[in-house]
Structure 1
Amino acid sequence: MGKPQDRRQRETLARDDERRRNIVGTARELIYDKNLAVGSAPVERILKPHSWVPTSNAFSDRLGPLGFNIFRALVVDLLHEFEIGVWKSLFTHLLRIILAHDKSLIHELDRRYRQIPTFGQATIRKFSANSSEMKRMAARNFEDLLQCSIPVFDCLLPEPHNTIVLKLLFTMAHWHGLAKLRMHSDLTLDIMDLVTSAVGQQFREFKAKVCAAYTTRELNREVESRTRRHARQASKQNGARKGKQGALNHGQRTKVFNFQTYKFHALGDYVSTIRRYGTSDSYSSEPGELEHRSPKASYRRTDRKFFVRQLTRIERRQTRIRRVGDRIVHRPHIEITELARSPDVHHHIGLTQKHPIHIGSYLRLHEGDPAIKVLIAPKSTSIDYSSFGQDCPYFEIVSDFEDIRLRSHVTRASLISVDSTSPVSVATPDPSGYVTNVSGRRPYDVRRAQDVINPRTSHCNIMVLRAENDMGPRGHRFIYGKVLGIYHTNVIFIGVGMIDYTPIRMEFLWVRWYEPIDRISTWDTSTMDRVRFPPMADEHSFDFLDPTDVLRGCHIIPSFARKRRRPDGSGLSACAGDKDDWCAYYVNRFVDRDMLMRFHFGLGVGHTYSHHRTLQAESHDECLAGFEHNVQDLGDDEEVESHDEDEEEDNSNCDRDELPEQEFGSSSESLSSEFHEMYDSDLELDYEN
């Protein structure tokens, strides 16, 4: 699959002509007229060379003479062919390999999956206690396993097998994300075509180098399933008692990895099918499978006896109630909950001020905390005052426990500050939900989406466009941060241009930044970006951020192979919560399709910030050339020294990766001249998306 010969055969052999219909007709005559079995030798001699079946198709018989090709009418099925097909088969064999290498590692795999944080409303759900058992799993659960698989499988196998497995998982997740896009272009389909070839190449490498090195056997669940199946067959032939005794003698059999299946072969048809019929969500079997929930949920309300009639009545009753609700005319009125759910606003922060915190009292309470230094005297912040009509590049808080005032430096000779006669308070969240920042965004497909940012949960990570003066090596498009608090304060601006003493609401985020590890992770390297927390003494560790600069929430997964920074659980800052820090983290670019297109910079139609000409790359050929070297092995990471003497002991067990600085070579960075003409050259960056 993916080779040039395979591409030619898909075009030349998928022909619905008179010859095919005659051969199928001959096979049907042998079966129905001469009473031969479907699998008999005469029938197999006719059909097996072409992999056909003795099935007569009405569309082919009636419309074939008019040019209709039945093979083109057979669309792909991503749910059954990939998510619970190819990926489930690969995941199962990876479990066999881990058991063959070291049986104790299967518990480490389950432990890592349990520690993965959730994301979104239902994007990444909480994993079960034993993911390796694969009990009561649907396709959505296997999808989550794939999207979070790289941090879990990292370093479970020795080199070079570890690198081969991680590259295969990366390519599988990349292909899966492209296949589920709800908006495609010629560029994304060209990329997916090359990724499809990479999938076939890396599967063959995995089979030749990794699978051949281990003697794998059946999993316990496979043995149990086989014994139950044999018991049922034996009970029908020789009686239940004899069959049960015979089934108990079965043990674990040797199991080899087989990807010579139709489901794997069908992966090569996705690009052509999407070009012909549109995106895969238009003809996916997932909506029908999800509809199974409705009768199952209603079945519990029946008496399990006359359930058909009762299910019908329940459905009719629900329909009537829904129609009554549609006829009710609601008066237009604005409420806080409606504002929070409005797709037209970039973000929403609660309005309540029931639990204010005085800055002076807060500083006294946390005196000595390294995270509080950003409240005392930051050099600059990322809060923009343009919404207030003032030209203020930054602000700083001067700490004086007796006299605390918020000062704003402007380019003009005037000073805008908070009136010193009034106390400065920062409104903090209350238990009713003000802690959550509902951030609106425009996904790649120009729809509307919202992220909920909550500092008290794992949904506290955000991503922001990287500026030239941001920390980290060049080439990274984004920077990432952990939100420690979501606040607003009422300020009164005085000085030149002052109108009155009406307080103005100012919103800001308290952020602890991640710093990228010195590695440029591009599509051709088949690695995800890795970040870490810088030393808290670093001037760039903490900052204030304007909520309008937030692009969206992001999924940060710990690098389990590099352990925790402080195994004893003792931290330096209660505000930052550094006692739970890991030495490194992965930025999950496969968590959803919108995040995937963020890293294909410039290809997301809804990502208007990436359409500026100065941010686009040179040519479409370079965009696709990066995938040609997709299976080259990466070198081992080198260790680098810690940046802070105070935390040198804490970071001694954490390996730091460093590669020579290089230009940003992402495949998605290169766009064709056709894509340049799609957008106006004067388009400015839009931070609201």
Structure 2
Amino acid sequence: MVHKRAKIFYRRTNKRDFELQIAAQERRQRFLRIIKRRLAQQEGAASPADKPTTRDVEPQPLAPVPNPPSVESELTSIIGPEDDDLPPTPPHDHHHISDSKRTWFHLVVFLSKFRADPALKNFLPDLKAHLLGRLLDIPYDGDETQFSLQDLADVTIMRERIYTHKILRVNYTTYDAQRDQDTLNTSSHPDFMAFAHEEEDDNPHPYWYGRIIGIFHADVRHVGARSKTGGRPQRMEFLWVRWFGRDIDHVAGWATKRLHRVGFVEPDQGAFGFLDPAQVLRGSHLIPAFHHGRTTELLGSSIARHFDG
């Protein structure tokens, strides 16, 4: 248990001087346990059999209290590799994802395990529709193109394996015409921006904003009369994302000198989807609007919820 706990603490560090950061996390958790037990004593919440002993009040540093697995740890263990060796990114490439096949999950097992999760509703048909649109060279429009069941059946993910990655690097041009690079990952820098693909809109905005849940690649085969690959498997990279919706009632822009405002949307309103990494412009820094408070109404317990570690 001790070594597992240390690994969890390590993932929450910035990987530099991690020993001190791990020690600080362990000390913080120990103090929180002491406070919790003392509060239980004061409120008389504990039964006689459960009342804390002297040893409970002063726990040993290396005697962790087992915690039930959270949806965050479930997500990390399945689709979030602990490490992702990524060599320097060539400056002429738009983006860079590792070629490694070291970490992966079985698609059928994954969907079966989390079949009640609202974030996974229509996960497989949406994924196949996204991949098929790219295989057929259909211009990206937010994956609005409808395909028949037979069209989707012609798309096969080889061995039902989705290969997972931690890092996506994106090269972009800054406003002063300089080259720069953003490093996105699923734990600490997951937010991005892409060009908007809106239809007729009375209040247009040039960008879409989203949060990366997973960085993946798969070996995909397309067969049938519409296939352009001759049935040969090919590597395809894709992002699983949670989209932000723009608050159209919020007055913003250059004239008002106020930033635009975005927020999460209901799961049944296209909140989740897939994106070609080539569509990502760069990372996005979103400032939390704390005065609006917090809510769990938009998405309950889900592996897609993001917790800053």
Instruction: Indicate the TM-score class for this superposition, using the shorter chain for normalisation.
Output: 0.5 to 0.7
Deviation readout 1:650-685 (Å, 9 max, x if unpaired)? xxxxxxxxxxxxxxxxxxxxxxxxxxxxxxxxxxxx
Q: Please, which of 439, 448, 451 is the counterpart of residue 179 of structure 2?
A: 448
Q: Please, which of 467, 472, 489 is the counterpart of residue 218 of structure 2?
A: 489
| 2:161 counterpart residue number | 425
Q: Residues 416 and 444 from structure 1, CA distance in 2 versus in 1: closer, same or farther, beyond 3 angstroms?
A: farther
| 2:236 counterpart residue number | 506
Q: Residues 563 and 544 from structure 1, CA distance in 2 versus in 1: closer, same or farther, beyond 3 angstroms?
A: same
Instruction: Tell me by how many angstroms 1:531 deviates.
Output: 0.9
- TM-score under structure 1 normalisation? 0.29
Instruction: Tell me by how many angstroms 1:564 deviates.
Output: 1.4
Q: Secondary structure at the match of 2:237?
A: strand
Aligned partners of 1:427 and 1:553: how far apart in 2?
A: 22
| 1:576 counterpart residue number | 304
- The structure number with the bigger radius of gyration is 1
| 1:369 counterpart residue number | 117
Aligned partners of 1:376 and 1:501: how far apart in 2?
A: 20
Q: Which runs of no fewer than 5 residues in structure 1 stay unpaired? A: 1-335, 395-407, 430-434, 581-689
- Cα pair 2:125 2:152 within 8 Å, conserved: no
RMSD (Å), alpha carbons: 3.6
Aligned partners of 1:492 and 1:384: how far apart in 2?
A: 10
Report 1:359-438 matches (<5 A): 359-378=107-126, 390-392=136-138, 409=147, 417-419=154-156, 423-429=159-165, 435-438=166-169
2:80 counterpart of 1:344: no
Aligned partners of 1:520 and 1:384: how far apart in 2?
A: 38
- Cα pair 1:393 1:409 within 8 Å, conserved: no
Instruction: Tell me by how many angstroms 1:416 deviates.
Output: 7.8
Deviation readout 1:341-387 (Å, 9 max, x if unpaired)? 2111011111111122111101011111110014144399666855x
| 1:563 counterpart residue number | 293
Q: Residues 575 and 542 from structure 1, CA distance in 2 versus in 1: closer, same or farther, beyond 3 angstroms?
A: same
| 1:288 counterpart residue number | none
Q: Residues 483 and 579 from structure 1, CA distance in 2 versus in 1: closer, same or farther, beyond 3 angstroms?
A: closer
Aligned partners of 2:152 and 2:120: how far apart in 1?
A: 25
Aligned partners of 2:111 and 2:127: how far apart in 1?
A: 18
Deviation readout 1:449-508 (Å, 9 max, x if unpaired)? 111110111x100011111249x9722221100110110000122234566554200011
Aligned partners of 1:558 and 1:485: how far apart in 2?
A: 22
Q: Residues 378 and 498 from structure 1, CA distance in 2 versus in 1: closer, same or farther, beyond 3 angstroms?
A: closer
Higher relative contact order (CA 8 A, sep 6+): 2
Instruction: Tell me by how many angstroms 1:574 deviates.
Output: 2.4
Aligned partners of 1:535 and 1:453: how far apart in 2?
A: 25
Q: Please, which of 277, 282, 287 is the counterpart of residue 547 of structure 1?
A: 277
| 1:134 counterpart residue number | none
Q: Residues 486 and 517 from structure 1, CA distance in 2 versus in 1: closer, same or farther, beyond 3 angstroms?
A: same
- Cα pair 1:491 1:503 within 8 Å, conserved: yes
Q: Please, which of 231, 253, 272 is the counterpart of residue 522 of structure 1?
A: 253
| 1:465 counterpart residue number | 195
The letter of the residue matching 1:348 is H
Deviation readout 1:87-139 (Å, 9 max, x if unpaired)? xxxxxxxxxxxxxxxxxxxxxxxxxxxxxxxxxxxxxxxxxxxxxxxxxxxxx
Q: Residues 511 and 416 from structure 1, CA distance in 2 versus in 1: closer, same or farther, beyond 3 angstroms?
A: same
Q: Secondary structure at the match of 2:215?
A: strand
Instruction: Tell me by how many angstroms 1:550 deviates.
Output: 0.8
Aligned partners of 2:128 and 2:154: how far apart in 1?
A: 16
Aligned partners of 1:347 and 1:560: how far apart in 2?
A: 33
- Greater share of residues in helix: 1
Q: Residues 364 and 417 from structure 1, CA distance in 2 versus in 1: closer, same or farther, beyond 3 angstroms?
A: same
Aligned partners of 2:129 and 2:153: how far apart in 1?
A: 16
Aligned partners of 1:381 and 1:495: how far apart in 2?
A: 15
The letter of the residue matching 1:443 is T
Count, aligned residues:
218
| 1:357 counterpart residue number | 105
Deviation readout 1:564-614 (Å, 9 max, x if unpaired)? 1249xx96132221688xxxxxxxxxxxxxxxxxxxxxxxxxxxxxxxxxx
Identical-pair percentage = 31
| 2:263 counterpart residue number | 532
Instruction: Tell me by how many angstroms 1:442 deviates.
Output: 1.5
Aligned partners of 2:90 and 2:195: how far apart in 1?
A: 24
Aligned partners of 2:187 and 2:307: how far apart in 1?
A: 15
The letter of the residue matching 1:349 is I
Deviation readout 1:623-674 (Å, 9 max, x if unpaired)? xxxxxxxxxxxxxxxxxxxxxxxxxxxxxxxxxxxxxxxxxxxxxxxxxxxx
- Cα pair 1:509 1:544 within 8 Å, conserved: yes
- TM-score under structure 2 normalisation? 0.61
Q: Which runs of no fewer than 5 residues in structure 2 stay unpaired? A: 1-84, 141-145
The letter of the residue matching 1:559 is A
The letter of the residue matching 1:479 is W
Instruction: Tell me by how many angstroms 1:551 deviates.
Output: 0.8
